[in-house]
Amino acid sequence: MTVAGRRFTPLPAIHAVPAVGYHLDSGQGSLVFTGDTAPNDELWRIVNQISNLKVLIIETAFSNKERYLAEVSRHLCPSMLADELAKFERRAEVWITHLKPGEIELIMEEIEASVGSLRPRMLQNDQVFEF
């Protein structure tokens, strides 16, 4: 689907209820929003083919101590995020969303410790990306 010159393509997600992610392409650059998802090889197969990718927004809902809950609810925790980002072959900004309230600082600390080279940052309310 195309809206205002931007192409929107749904991406596969693995979640406890039906869900999708999105690829938004302006022609100048692309943004991928993963939506709620568990480990997802099909997502990475598609994302790694996006040559103009500028921004990747990915969820990490739980801390590592709640990995079991992340697995059961089909979300990610920092150690699972690290495994997923090891499949990421592009250079793009990485932003984290869907952090569990009350554990935001812990989750971001665990992400920094396990995925440091990509330097993921926490998505902020009202954040704007131009691409």
**For 71-112, how does the pLDDT look when each residue is reduced to its tens digit (9 = 90+)?**
999 999 999 999 999 999 998 999 999 999 999 999 999 999
pTM of the predicted structure, to 2 decimals: 0.93
> Domains in the chain, ordered, with CATH?
2-122 (3.60.15.10)
Amino acid 131: pLDDT = 82
Amino acid 69: pLDDT = 94
Residues 6 or more apart whose CB falls under 8 angstroms from that of 106 comprise: 63
Query: For residue 38, which of 79, 75, 10, 12 has the smallest C-alpha distance?
Result: 75
Amino acid 33: pLDDT = 96
- Give the ranges where 67-103 is alpha helix by DSSP (H): 67-73, 78-85
pLDDT in tens, 1-45: 877 788 999 999 999 898 999 999 999 999 999 989 999 999 999
